[in-house]
Amino acid sequence: MNTALLLMQVAAALGAGDLHTIQYSGSGFTYVFGQSYQPGGAYPKFRLTYTRAIDFDARASREQVTRTQFEEPPRGGGNQPLYREVTGATLSTDATPWGAGTVTLTPHGFVNAALANAATVRTVRTGGRTLTVVSFTGHRGFKVEGYVNAQHLIERIDTWVQNPILGETRIETTYADYRPVAGITFPMRIVQRQGGFPTLELTVSDVRPNATVDIPAPAPAVPARAEGHRIADGVWYLTGAPEPNSQLVEMRDYAVLIESSISEARAAANIAEARRLVPGKPIRYHVNSHHHADHAGGLRAYVSAGITLVTHEMNRRLYERPGLATAGTVWVKDRYVLDDGSRRLEIHHVPNGHAANLLMSYLPRERLLMVTDVFNDFGEPRPNDPPPGLVSPYYAALGERIRALKLDVERIAPSHGRDVVPAERLRKALEGTVQSPLRGRSGSL
C-alpha cells in the first residue's frame, strides 16, 4: 500500500488540507482520571459541558470543561461531592510535558502529523471489517496509531504514556458519527479511555473550522519544594509545591513521613527536608494515605530511597505490579501502630465514599490528626463545600470514624491545606444534615 497516497486520501476525506484552527463544543460526561473509589477501578463520572480550541499550526490546544455532580451517592475523588459546578481549562502547547501530542490525537491533527513523520501502514481485521492502521513516532517520541476505515475516516487513535502509578498506559480515543460541517468532515461522537476506563464521552453540537482562537501560554510548572514547620515536639507540617502537603514525625530511632505526594520531585523534596530536620535518623516508614494520583504519584521516590511503604491492603495489586511495593511493605487492614516508648503513631482505616482504602494518622499524646480528602482546609470556599446547614457525606464519614475510635482530636493537619487547624473546624462542618448534592432531586438521573 502506498502510505503517502492513503494519507492524502484521509486528509481529503477529513478536509484537513486547509484547516488551520478549529473550535468545537458539546456535552456529555467526563471522568476524573486517577481518582477512582477503588484501587484499579473506574474513574468517577461527572456531567460535562465542553469547548475545545485547537491551533494546528502552533500545535496548541485549550480544553474548557465544566463539571457537575453525577455520582449518587458520591463515590471517588475529583473534588466530590460537588455542590456547585466546577470550571477548568487544560492548555497543551509545545511547552507542556505531553504538549503537542494531544493535537496529534485528533483526526485532523493525526493525519498532518502522519504526513510529517514517516508513517507506516498495516491492515487489521476487526468486527468483520478491514481497517488500515497508520503508525508513526510523533512529538517527543510518543508512538501513535490511527485506524482508518474504507471511507478514509479515522475511527480510533491510540497512544501510550508513562504513568507514575500505572506504568505504561494506553490512551484510546474513538471517533464516530462523522458529518460534513462547513467544508470539513468532523466526528460528532468522541470517546476517550485511559488505562482501560472512560475519561470522556462527548457529543459534539457545534463545530467551527478556522475559527479565531486565542490559546494563551500555560503557566510554567512550579518547581518542587518542601519546607517543614514545627507543629508539635518532633512533628512538622511540610508545606511546599506541588500540593498536597506532607507531615513528618520523629520517633526515638527513626522518622516517619506521611503522604506520598503527587510527584517524585515533591516526594524527593519531602525526603530531603525530613533528613535536614531529623539528621542522623533514617526515614524508616512512609504512610500512603490512598491510591489517588495526587497522593501516590511520588511512591517511586520512596522505593528508591529504601523507605518502607505503609498502605492499605486494597492497594496490593495496584502497587505490586509496577514495583511500587516491596517485600517489606506493611499492608494495613483496620489499624497499624508504631510505638517505640517515646511516641505512639496510630494509622487507621477510614471507611468513606472518597476512597475505599483511605488511611489517616493520629498522634494520641499530641491529639493531632493527619488526614486528607475527607477533611481539607484551604481557608477559602471550595466547590465541595455544602450549602449552610448541610454536611458532606465524606466529612460525616470522618466524624463517625473519629467517634467510633474515640480519638481525642485537638488539631488537624490536612494534607490539602495551608497549616494545622483546630479540630473545631471539623466539628463546625459536621453541624447539620448529611446530604449529597443530588439527593432528593427527582428525575435528575
Which residues of this protein are in contact with Zn ion, per CB under 5 A?
77, 292, 373
Q: Which of 52, 48, 51 is nearest to 27 (CA)?
A: 48
Nearest partner of 170 among 160, 162, 180, judged by Cα: 160
Residue 10 or 397 with smaller CB distance to Zn ion: 397
> Residue 372 CB, nearest distance to Zn ion (Å)?
7
* Residue 292 CB-half CA count within 13 A: 26
List residues bridging with 202 in a β-sheet. Answer: 28, 190
Answer whether 211's CB lies under 8 Å from 182's CB.
Answer: no
In the complex, the smallest distance separating the C-beta of residue 246 from Zn ion, rounded to whole angstroms, is: 14
| Residue 360, C-alpha cell as written in the block | 489517616
User: How far is Cα 121 from Cα 141, in angstroms, rounded to an integer?
Assistant: 18
Residues 135, 196: Cα–Cα separation, whole Å: 21
C-beta closer to Zn ion: residue 197 or 304: 197
CB of 291 to Zn ion, least distance (A): 8
Nearer to Zn ion, 152 or 292 (CB): 292
Burial call 166-195: b when 16+ CB within 10 Å, e when fewer? beeeebbbbbeebeebeebbbbbebbbbbb
Write the CB contacts of 89 (distance below 8 Å, at least 6 apart in sequence).
62, 63, 64, 65
Report the distance separating Cα 72 and Cα 30, nearest Å. 15
Helix axis angle, 3-14 relative to 107-116, nearest 10°? 150
Q: How far is the CB of 330 from Zn ion (least distance, A)?
A: 20
Q: Are the beta carbons of 194 and 170 closer than 8 angstroms?
A: yes
* Cβ closest to Zn ion, residue 250 vs residue 373: 373
Nearer to Zn ion, 34 or 109 (CB): 34
Between 43 and 175, CB nearer to Zn ion? 43
Q: Measured between alpha carbons, how far is 159 from 372 in angstroms, rounded to an integer?
A: 33
For the CB of residue 293, give the shortest distance to Zn ion in the complex, in Å.
Answer: 8
Q: Is the separation of the CB atoms in 229 and 246 below 8 Å?
A: no
Nearer Cβ to Zn ion (295/343): 295
Residue in the shown chain whose Cβ atom is closest to Zn ion: 292
When the beta carbons of 34 and 146 are compared against Zn ion, the nearer one is 34
Which residues have CB under 8 Å from 110's CB, separation 6+?
A: 104, 134, 144, 146, 154, 157
CB of 257 to Zn ion, least distance (A): 18
Length of the chain counted residue by residue: 445
Q: Residue 417 pairs with which residues in a beta bridge?
A: 377
Q: How far is the CB of 433 from Zn ion (least distance, A)?
A: 24
Q: How far is the CB of 152 from Zn ion (least distance, A)?
A: 44
Residue (292 or 343) nearer to Zn ion, CB: 292
Closer of 156 and 292 to Zn ion (Cβ): 292
Q: How far is the CB of 375 from Zn ion (least distance, A)?
A: 12
Task: In angstroms, give the least distance from the CB of 290 to Zn ion.
Answer: 6
Provide the H-helix boundaries in 56-152: 101-104, 107-116
Q: How far is the CB of 280 from Zn ion (least distance, A)?
A: 34
**Cα–Cα distance, 128 to 411 (Å, whole number):** 63
Please classify residue 359 by burial: count the beta carbons closer than 10 Å to its beta carbon, then call 0-12 exposed, 13-18 middle and 19+ buried: buried
Please identify, using beta-carbon distances, which residue of 39 and 77 lies nearer to Zn ion: 77
